[in-house]
Structure 1
């Protein structure tokens, strides 16, 4: 397509003196650059300056320079490729390409590379200032800068017809060496990227690990994630470990947490009155949410009690333990005041002292004790 366009332009300038063709092409390029700068780009800047988002304004601001430079130097490059214009010029086509064509393309490549790097860096700064989920944004900015730099060097070398194969080989060897030397760091880095794109958690979430550790996410870095435990101790966990284990996010998809409070009552208790009393206690607790409503669930017939669970919701996982403490205290007080028995395991041990013939006396004394420790003490006293 480019060759066809150049052939068409060459046919237009057949019979035109070289200086006139040069003046026309260069003048057209400069005029186009001025029109783009004065009319198009400034109009776009005024429009984007009134929009709510800043991203479109950043895009126009940073692409302004490469667009103008491309328009201004396009005529110079095209001029070096037109045989009809350059056939009467003292310089050869290779010399024209070397002194004018390749330098103009090189300037265009550098201008676009610089602008693309600036666009991404400014986007990153904009996202970071508005509170991103993670602080990975600066890392992406640095990686993008490295990619743009290496890509620009490769394009320029190819443009000037230098072989980049030795450089690629050296880069491959260096990459393998760095990968082996810093495999843990690399694993943590890519583990963090996976956590970012999977949206496993974000700052402020309360998460629980397979190891039983649970805390609030206060920092997610390139290498590790920092958790604030309930006792205000910071725990740093490598991202590679988090990416390879199960993470329970108790703050997602909603921050509220369901609370399960087990309680047992004695057999023979009026279960209707008991359930109503416990629900009243849950309704009066300020940490318990009104919606969803608290409810009682009869789970099982236990060995010594009817096993119930109070199901209710709290606004945040970090309020779970405090709410359970308050509910347990309130239920104990109210059930005791209402003469509702909360049973506990009891053990009955019968001690039979041995007679003179090595047997046991039929008239055995029975002692009821509350736990195993009291039973051992009674046995020692009988001895």
Structure 2
């Protein structure tokens, strides 16, 4: 039974925009086709179900052909490069391109089939699948591009420390655009939702102000990078440890007692941070030693340098050095300054240096002063007093 090209497809709870599109689709397709294809189009309209199946099959074949063309031709070009990023991007584009061609063909098949009910709902589902596939591909590709731009190559444009920040921002931006498109496809006006979300956002903001403070502090920590994973940091609240993880809400430290501490980013953002790994590659440690007055100062310097240079984990450059810092109440105050490579070894190496210095002083007769008192008796009492 012939179908009029101006026939309006039955809709159930459809949006005006899609109603107008579907009602004019048949006529528009007929006008766009060349005269040589008009006879075939009229034949399809006479048998809508068979025509819809034929269009679906042709759409599938075209989608497979385009995907194969993308893999074969473009894949050969990207295979000439040393980077694997372009190959990964090409692999992520295969599915959305196939879905776009195939489901657009299925939408045309639904229009031709002129289903009595549910036609527009099916088209909305097809368009939603296309949108979702491009959202997923955009999220994957943005992550790949960020890692490529932050890698150690001559095209490094993004600081590796800011990659998590840009990655989260790009994902949120992609999800927001995709969600807006999905709402428009299903005929939902997002303006009212945004107004309601603004009012609800104020309530949630007051209820979760601490969580939001930690979240924004996490953004600033990632962007400013006062420390990175693997650094040893000291906080003014007394915590000291190795940074294990930096999240948007909290930072985790592993202390020297092998205890993991989770600190909210809001606390760290307002704290004084001492990054022991943030300066040059080597870290200086200071050993304070006192020698009794009357000791040979030159000999003390030689013994302290001997203790520093003979330690296997003390850096040769800069070399150890000794300084006489002052004259104490009962001692000459010397400082032995050495450089080490790992902040976590500070306590152990300082212990070993103290032990070596004590043994050398005992061996060479250098007295280490200690607190003592001398009692002078001016006059012994007589028997009569």
> Which TM-score applies when normalising by structure 1?
0.65
Deviation (angstroms), 1:166: 0.7
For the Cα contact (< 8 Å) 2:89–2:144, is it kept in 1? Answer: no
Provide the C-alpha distance between the structure 1 equivalents of 2:194 and 2:98, rounded to a whole number of angstroms: 33
Deviation (angstroms), 1:180: 2.1
**Where does the alignment leave 5 or more consecutive residues of structure 2 unmatched?**
1-27, 42-54, 108-119, 150-159
Give the CA RMSD over aligned residues. 4.6
Aligned to 1:247: 273
Structure 1 103/342 Cα, relative in aligned 2: closer, same or farther at 3 Å? Answer: closer
User: Between Structure 1 and Structure 2, how many residues are aligned?
Assistant: 316
Structure 1 241/50 Cα, relative in aligned 2: closer, same or farther at 3 Å? Answer: farther
Provide the C-alpha distance between the structure 2 equivalents of 1:315 and 1:21, rounded to a whole number of angstroms: 83
Indicate whether 1:334 and 2:364 are aligned.
no
Aligned to 1:119: 141
For the Cα contact (< 8 Å) 1:264–1:308, is it kept in 2? Answer: yes
Moved more, 271-280 or 150-159: 150-159
Indicate whether 1:148 and 2:170 are aligned.
no
Indicate whether 1:364 and 2:372 are aligned.
no
Provide the C-alpha distance between the structure 1 equivalents of 2:33 and 2:223, rounded to a whole number of angstroms: 61
Q: Deviations over 1:324-350 (max 9, x none)?
A: 111112112212221223233444455
Find the residue that maps to 2:257 and give its secondary structure.
coil
Indicate whether 1:283 and 2:309 are aligned.
yes
Deviation (angstroms), 1:168: 0.6
Indicate whether 1:61 and 2:91 are aligned.
yes
For the Cα contact (< 8 Å) 2:254–2:261, is it kept in 1? Answer: yes
For the Cα contact (< 8 Å) 1:350–1:365, is it kept in 2? Answer: no
For the Cα contact (< 8 Å) 1:295–1:310, is it kept in 2? Answer: yes
Q: Equivalent residues in 2 for 1:65-144 (5 A)?
A: 65-67=95-97, 109-120=131-142
Q: Deviations over 1:123-174 (max 9, x none)?
A: 89999xxxxx99x969966x76565344223234456775322111111122
Provide the C-alpha distance between the structure 2 equivalents of 1:194 and 1:42, rounded to a whole number of angstroms: 44
Deviation (angstroms), 1:254: 4.5
Aligned to 1:238: 264
Find the residue that maps to 2:278 and give its secondary structure.
coil
Q: Equivalent residues in 2 for 1:1-383 (5 A)?
A: 17=35, 19=37, 37-48=67-78, 53-67=83-97, 109-120=131-142, 147-158=173-184, 163-254=189-280, 256-349=282-375, 364=379
Structure 1 117/249 Cα, relative in aligned 2: closer, same or farther at 3 Å? Answer: same
Structure 1 285/118 Cα, relative in aligned 2: closer, same or farther at 3 Å? Answer: closer
Deviation (angstroms), 1:56: 2.3
Find the residue that maps to 2:316 and give its secondary structure.
coil
Find the residue that maps to 1:119 and give its secondary structure.
helix
Structure 1 177/297 Cα, relative in aligned 2: closer, same or farther at 3 Å? Answer: same
Provide the C-alpha distance between the structure 1 equivalents of 2:278 and 2:225, rounded to a whole number of angstroms: 10
Provide the C-alpha distance between the structure 1 equivalents of 2:232 and 2:75, rounded to a whole number of angstroms: 43
Deviation (angstroms), 1:310: 0.6
Provide the C-alpha distance between the structure 2 equivalents of 1:199 and 1:52, rounded to a whole number of angstroms: 31
